[in-house]
A = this chain, B = another copy of it.
């Protein structure tokens, strides 16, 4: 029995949401916010990308509004992070990066799939996958008044875009939706992890 594409979108969305919510909560605590601020940043970091995608492709109300489990999940993640933050201080940066790469891959795949469901054309659908992956982090950083890390982190949005392109190419080559999604997710994840561990970077303006 092949899993349905809607099921893949839902599962990838929920797991990615939880990872990004925790990351957002940690960033908010480092900025000295109180419990509510931590929960709000967890919410926008996890759901901002998907909400932006849904507004852009005309899928209103966005999933995050239609389905109460999404916001509830982010608030729980924010609360848990707030309560157990001290115990988690020793969590290694490497595994944080790996978890974040997994969340990015899940969101990029879910984003491009949903854009295709709404009949968005391939190039723009790949952009929507990228927006889904990085949009929440952009809003999180804007609210914490710093230049969005995605604009200065090497090979991050690039990995999301690449993964989305692989999904589209896999579909075009006749892969099943599940296989194409898997291939795109793995492509995004591997590119991000390898780039981070090898210090790959894009060119920067001189001077």
Produce 1/0 per residue, A137-159, CB < 8 A to B. Answer: 01000111111101110100110
Please measure, in the bound complex, the distance between the C-alpha atom of A157 and the C-alpha atom of B58, giving whole angstroms. Answer: 28
Residue A34 CB within 8 A of the other chain? yes
Given the known interface contacts A57-B61, A147-B143, the answer about A68 and B124 at a Cβ–Cβ threshold of 8 Å is yes
* Oligomer copy total: 3
Task: Give which listed residue, B120, B145, B151, B157, contacts A147 with CB less than 8 A.
Answer: B145
**Chain B residue at minimum C-beta to C-beta distance from A122:** B68
Q: Are A148 and B143 in contact (CB under 8 A)?
A: yes
Q: Are B124 and A71 in contact (CB under 8 A)?
A: yes
Please measure, in the bound complex, the distance between the C-alpha atom of A140 and the C-alpha atom of B72, giving whole angstroms. Answer: 27
| Stretch of A36-44, A90-98, A164-172, A185-193 lying at the B interface | A36-44
Residue A199 CB within 8 A of the other chain? no
Residue A194 CB within 8 A of the other chain? no
Q: Are A143 and B138 in contact (CB under 8 A)?
A: yes
In the complex, 25 of the A-B residue pairs with CB atoms within 8 angstroms, ordered by the A residue number, are A32-B204, A33-B151, A33-B204, A34-B151, A34-B152, A35-B203, A36-B158, A36-B202, A37-B151, A38-B205, A55-B60, A56-B60, A56-B65, A57-B61, A57-B65, A60-B60, A65-B128, A68-B123, A71-B124, A71-B127, A82-B203, A82-B205, A142-B143, A142-B145, A145-B146
Which A residues have a C-beta under 8 Å from some C-beta of B? 28-29, 31-38, 40-41, 51, 55-58, 60-62, 65-66, 68, 71-72, 82, 85-86, 118, 120-121, 123-124, 127-128, 138, 142-148, 150-152, 154, 157-158, 201-207
In addition to A34-B201, A72-B123, 17 A-B residue pairs with Cβ atoms within 8 Å of each other are A31-B147, A32-B152, A34-B154, A34-B202, A34-B203, A37-B152, A55-B55, A55-B56, A58-B61, A60-B60, A65-B120, A68-B124, A71-B124, A85-B205, A86-B207, A138-B143, A144-B147
